[in-house]
Amino acid sequence: MIWIQKEIKLKPYPRGFHLITNEILRQFPEINKVKIGTVHLLLKHTSASLTLNENFDSDVRKDMESYFNNTVKENERYYLHTSEGSDDMPAHIKSSILGTSLTLPVTDGRFNLGIWQGIYLCEHRKSAGSRTIIITLGGE
């Protein structure tokens, strides 16, 4: 059994849903060492999230952004946490709804995903910096 843990930094992204599967793989070549196992990804932030969804049609990512911006609006009168900008509290809510971690199977040194699945960084802030992901991989 092998265990590998690594922290990676993603480049800054604008608000939206961004396919980051290949960026993760570029920064985590260690995945090639595992024939069978699981990988856990933890995004170390409270105003962004991770999810698994459509990796082909970019309209899906645009529609996801539109849905969440319509569902969790900015400038609601009942928000108390407003000192960091009008997008901050909605970003925390979106992050809680979608979550900040994924656990995925690894087979023959690759994420074992469906043909149309990809890992998204869901950036909920208008102007965010780089984001950090902790990758923990266990397997044989």
Options 1.10.3430.10, 1.10.3720.10, 3.40.50.2300, 2.60.120.460; CATH of 2-139: 2.60.120.460
pLDDT in tens, 113-133: 999 999 999 999 999 999 999
d(Cα 72, Cα 90) in Å, to the nearest integer?
6
pLDDT in tens, 80-115: 999 999 999 999 999 999 999 999 999 999 999 999
d(Cα 96, Cα 79) in Å, to the nearest integer?
15
CB atoms within 10 A of CB 2: 12
Banded pLDDT at 64 (limits 50, 70, 90): very high
Q: How far is CA 70 from CA 57, 65, 134, in A?
A: 21, 9, 30
**Domain spans of the chain, in order of start:** 2-139
3-state helix, strand, coil in the chain (%, to 5): 25, 40, 30
Are 92 and 47 contacting, i.e. CB atoms less than 8 angstroms apart?
Answer: yes
pTM above 0.85, yes or no: yes
Q: Of 19, 4, 13, whose CA–CA distance to 106 is shortest?
A: 4
d(Cα 76, Cα 64) in Å, to the nearest integer?
20
Whose tokens are 């396919």? That residue is 19
